[in-house]
């Protein structure tokens, strides 16, 4: 019943969100287009529920083909991030297009963040448990590591730091959510996320 209600709320809230954020989506799209050209959106394969691969949608905050110029994680001063991209990331505006992923059913509003397949396979046993539910836009780990890029200040070792230090802590928080997942928990996380963004 919980997951049924959760899905209904996901559809309802994201449908309203698309209407409310439509002017923002148009404005940001035009700014990206004018400042750094196409593409406006960044599509990247992530692993979802039951190891299903889907393409996550974000506003592009890096230069074109940035995924071919470095690792799958970015630092605070990553040279690949554009000027407008820094602003979008600071206020999490780049995450807004993920409401379409939620509406399509690949993601939920609340749940473990979707990971790159190679990183999920690195912790295969843990993710076999985590991926029993849909990934989400926000969760405990998103709140705890909201300034993740600040922790990644060594360009040559960022991927190693992420895999061996940051991701294990995220996994613990993902499992915490799995144990506590219910509508009350989801509502608390959503409100906490808004508070962090506003602050």
- Segment 142-171 shows an average pLDDT of 84
CB neighbours of 137 closer than 8 A, spacing ≥ 6? 95, 98, 99, 102, 107, 108, 109, 110, 111
CA 142 to chain CA centroid, Å, is: 8
Q: Comparing 28 with 151, which gets the higher pLDDT?
A: 28
The closest of 126, 116, 130, 95 to 53, measured between CA atoms, is: 116
| pLDDT > 70 fraction of the chain, expressed in percent and rounded | 95
Residue 55's H or E segment, with its range, is strand 53-59
The closest of 28, 19, 144, 14 to 93, measured between CA atoms, is: 28
pLDDT at 174 over 70: yes
Can you give the pTM of this predicted structure? Answer: 0.89
CB neighbours of 53 closer than 8 A, spacing ≥ 6? 45, 46, 47, 117
Query: 6, 186 in Cβ contact below 8 A?
Result: yes
What does the alpha-carbon distance between residue 43 and residue 20 come to, in Å, rounded to a whole number? 23
pLDDT in tens, 1-51: 899 999 999 999 999 999 999 999 999 999 999 998 889 999 999 999 999
Mean pLDDT estimate for the chain: 91
Query: 193, 142 in Cβ contact below 8 A?
Result: yes
Dihedral sign for Cα atoms in the order 45, 48, 50, 51: positive
> Where are the domains positioned within the chain?
2-198
CA 154 to chain CA centroid, Å, is: 22
Query: 42, 58 in Cβ contact below 8 A?
Result: yes
Q: Tell whether omega for the bond before 39 is within 30 degrees of 0, i.e. cis.
A: yes
């Amino acid at each position: 019943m919980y997951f049924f209600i959760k899905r209904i709320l996901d559809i309802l809230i994201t449908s309203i969100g698309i209407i409310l954020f439509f002017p923002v989506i148009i404005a940001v799209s035009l700014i990206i287009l004018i400042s750094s050209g196409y593409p406006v959106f960044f599509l990247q394969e992530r692993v979802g529920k039951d190891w299903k691969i889907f393409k996550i949608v974000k506003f592009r905050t890096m230069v074109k083909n940035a995924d071919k110029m470095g690792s799958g994680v970015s630092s605070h001063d990553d040279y690949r991030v554009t000027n407008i991209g820094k602003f979008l990331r600071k206020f999490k505006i780049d995450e807004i297009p993920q409401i379409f992923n939620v509406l399509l059913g690949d993601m939920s509003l609340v749940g473990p963040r979707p990971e790159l397949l190679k990183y999920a396979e690195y912790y295969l046993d843990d993710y076999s448990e985590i991926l029993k539910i849909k990934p989400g836009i926000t969760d405990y780990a998103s709140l705890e590591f909201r300034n993740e890029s600040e922790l990644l200040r060594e360009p040559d070792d960022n991927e190693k730091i992420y895999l061996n230090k940051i991701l294990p802590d995220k996994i613990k928080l993902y499992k915490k959510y799995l144990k506590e997942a219910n509508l009350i928990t989801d509502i608390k996380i959503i409100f906490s996320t808004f508070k962090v963004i506003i602050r």
